[in-house]
């Protein structure tokens, strides 16, 4: 029987298949299009840790699939007739019914590394979101200050216009009052002239009668 496919292989596609002089295929990441040369599970797992296109939910799904128990392969080495290197064959055998219980309070190094990577990614995501929120907050503050300045400027312009209209109305009232006063003074002077002329005429007539 062949090697059972690991969950990590599902996240890659074959870019260059294995040939007679090439024992392992080159795999292409389905998320960031990166080519992994002579792909091994360790290389693929190492790429998965730093893959920029792998989202957190896919990363968590792959890690959960990696943690599931799989049939234990037994490798047998045999020397081929026409090859100087060893060829690997895999034979599956049922997993023992009793598995070693994990020691309480201890975690495997791979689980600790994956957990540390998730914590680091979460921390980086939180810091990035905090920077974005702070930038947006500063932009909103600047926009608020700009709107406040425009409102005060508009209020100042309206107040200046109102004051100018009020001063213009006041100037027109004062001008009308000055014109009216001037007309009254001219009329009074004219009346005084007329009264003086009539008085002189009456005095002249009285003297002639005498």
Rounded to whole angstroms, the Cα distance separating 62 from 69 reads 14
**Residue 13 scores a pLDDT above 90:** no
Beta bridge partners of 26: 16
Count CA atoms within 13 Å of residue 101 on its CB side: 3
Quote the pLDDT of residue 9. Answer: 74
- Per-residue pLDDT, 91: 36
- Residue 195 is predicted with a pLDDT of 93
With a cut of 50, say whether residue 88 has pLDDT above it. Answer: no
- Position 146 pLDDT exceeds 90: yes
Angle between helices 41-50 and 109-209 (to 10 degrees): 20
CA 119, 6, 90: angle at the middle one, nearest 5?
140
What pLDDT digit, counting tens, does each position of 181-193 carry?
999 999 999 999 9
Alpha-carbon distance of 152 to 158, in angstroms, equals 10
pLDDT the model gives residue 6: 64
- Is 108 strand, coil or helix? coil
Half-sphere exposure of 147 (CA within 13 A, CB side): 6
């Amino acid at each position: 029987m062949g090697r059972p496919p690991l969950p990590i292989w599902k996240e890659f596609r074959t870019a260059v298949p294995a040939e007679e002089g090439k024992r392992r295929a080159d795999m292409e990441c389905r998320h960031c299009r990166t080519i992994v040369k002579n792909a091994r599970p360790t290389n693929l797992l190492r790429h998965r840790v730093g893959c920029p296109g792998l989202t957190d939910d896919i990363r968590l799904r792959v890690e959960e699939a990696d943690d599931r128990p799989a049939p234990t392969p037994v490798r047998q080495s045999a020397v081929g007739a026409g090859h100087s290197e060893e060829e690997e064959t895999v034979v599956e055998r049922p997993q023992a019914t009793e598995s070693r219980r994990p020691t309480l309070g201890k975690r495997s190094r791979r689980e600790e590394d994956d957990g540390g990577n998730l914590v680091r990614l979460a921390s980086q995501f939180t810091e990035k979101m905090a920077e974005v929120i702070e930038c947006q907050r500063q932009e909103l503050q600047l926009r608020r200050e700009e709107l406040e300045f425009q409102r005060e400027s508009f209020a100042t312009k309206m107040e200046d216009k109102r004051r100018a209209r009020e001063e213009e109305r006041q100037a027109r009232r004062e001008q009308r009052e000055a014109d009216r006063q001037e007309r009254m003074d001219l009329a009074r002077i004219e009346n005084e002239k007329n009264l003086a002329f009539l008085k002189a005429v009456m005095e002249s007539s009285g003297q002639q009668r005498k």
